[in-house]
């Protein structure tokens, strides 16, 4: 999968909605819809994290033009605005949520999450408290990784199999605990231990913001060769 520099692009969105003056990376609904339209019209294969994980299990090469769509943080606009657009184009996606923030102002509620999960959206864990994991004490790691998983599962009635590290931060210890907790894979940002092979407990992602409003930068990001142009960061 990483041969010749090709990496399956896993897109990391945060909020899809009205552009506000806060620091949340946001994509307007119009831009998001145009991006989905572009993927569909140009015959990209938008696949779920589950499909990606299955390919990794079988050491299969991903077909070119595969793309994964993910959202971090669980903003209320995702079930309300982004998911209906994804459903319209029949595209899968994963939403990573933080139990301590579910239902707070601006965040999706358990009812919304349960509803979109029933309609096929994958819900993953973004830890219990949106903690930067390299700084979390050993004794608190299990709450962040295991308890968050358990709570989401009991609320939405579906297995939670994917994790997203807040701010992308992880350590080898965090990775092995994620595996132990039963996650099939975990997503980071552009952080990596090594530039080489794909590591399913640090799947690199590409952040999408309104700056990708024009189709050219978006096209570069979904090419699978974007990693060749960007600086990888330390995992912690
Ligand atoms: Zn986050």
pLDDT in tens, 129-180: 999 999 999 999 999 999 999 999 999 999 999 999 999 999 999 999 999 9
Task: Specify burial of residue 111 (Cβ count, 10 A radius: 0-12, 13-18, 19+).
Answer: exposed
Tokens of 70: 């993910």
> Between 217 and 151, where is the model more confident?
151
CA of 126 to the centre of ligand 1 (A): 7
pTM for the whole thing? 0.95
> What is the whole-number distance in angstroms between the Cα of residue 72 and the centre of ligand 1?
5
5 has a pLDDT exceeding 80 = no
Strand 94-97 relative to strand 122-125, pairing: parallel
Beta-bridge mates of residue 41: none
Q: How confident is the model at residue 1 (pLDDT cuts 50, 70, 90)?
A: very low
Average pLDDT over residues 26-46: 97
Residue 64 Cα, ligand 1 centroid: separation in angstroms? 28
Task: State in Å: Cα 130 to ligand 1 middle.
Answer: 6
Q: Which of 48, 5, 70, 3 is nearest to 232 (CA)?
A: 5
Task: Pick the closest to residue 89 from 39, 140, 129, 160 (CA basis).
Answer: 39
Q: How far is the CA of 59 from the centre of ligand 1 (A)?
A: 29
Q: What is the mean pLDDT of residues 175-204?
A: 90
Burial of 233 (0-12, 13-18, 19+ CB in 10 A): middle
> Which parts of the chain fold into alpha helices (H)?
29-41, 49-57, 77, 83-88, 110-118, 138-142, 148-156, 172-180, 215-221
Task: Answer yes or no: is pLDDT of 2 > 60.
Answer: no
Rama region for 125: left / alpha / beta (φ>0; ψ in -120 to 50; rest):
beta
Structure letter (DSSP) for residue 46: E
Q: How far is the CA of 188 from the centre of ligand 1 (A)?
A: 10
Q: Which of 137-146, 179-188, 213-222 shows the lowest per-residue confidence on average (mean pLDDT)? A: 213-222
Between these two residues, 195 and 39, which has the higher pLDDT value?
39
Domains of the chain (ranges, CATH numbers): 3-229 (3.20.20.370)
């Amino acid at each position: 999968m990483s041969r010749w520099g090709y990496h399956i692009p896993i897109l990391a969105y945060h909020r899809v909605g009205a552009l506000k003056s806060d620091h949340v990376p946001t994509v307007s609904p119009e831009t998001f819809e145009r991006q989905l339209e572009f993927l569909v019209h140009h015959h990209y294969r938008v696949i779920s994290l589950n499909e990606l994980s299955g390919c990794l299990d079988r050491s299969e090469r991903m077909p070119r033009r595969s793309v994964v769509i993910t959202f971090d943080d669980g903003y209320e606009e995702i079930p309300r605005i982004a998911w209906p657009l994804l459903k319209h184009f029949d595209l899968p996606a994963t939403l990573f949520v933080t139990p301590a923030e579910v239902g707070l102002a601006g965040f999706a509620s358990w009812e919304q999450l349960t509803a979109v999960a029933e309609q096929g959206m994958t819900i993953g864990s973004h830890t219990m408290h949106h903690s930067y994991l390299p700084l979390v004490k050993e004794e608190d790691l299990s709450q962040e990784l295991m308890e968050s998983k358990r709570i989401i599962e009991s609320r939405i009635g579906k297995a939670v199999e994917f994790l997203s590290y807040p701010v992308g931060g992880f350590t080898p210890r965090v990775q092995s605990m994620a595996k132990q907790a039963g996650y099939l894979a975990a997503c980071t940002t552009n952080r990596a231990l090594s530039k080489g092979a794909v590591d399913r407990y640090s799947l690199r992602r590409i952040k999408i913001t309104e700056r990708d409003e024009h189709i050219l930068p978006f096209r570069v990001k979904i090419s699978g060769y974007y990693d060749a142009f960007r600086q990888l960061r330390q995992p912690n």
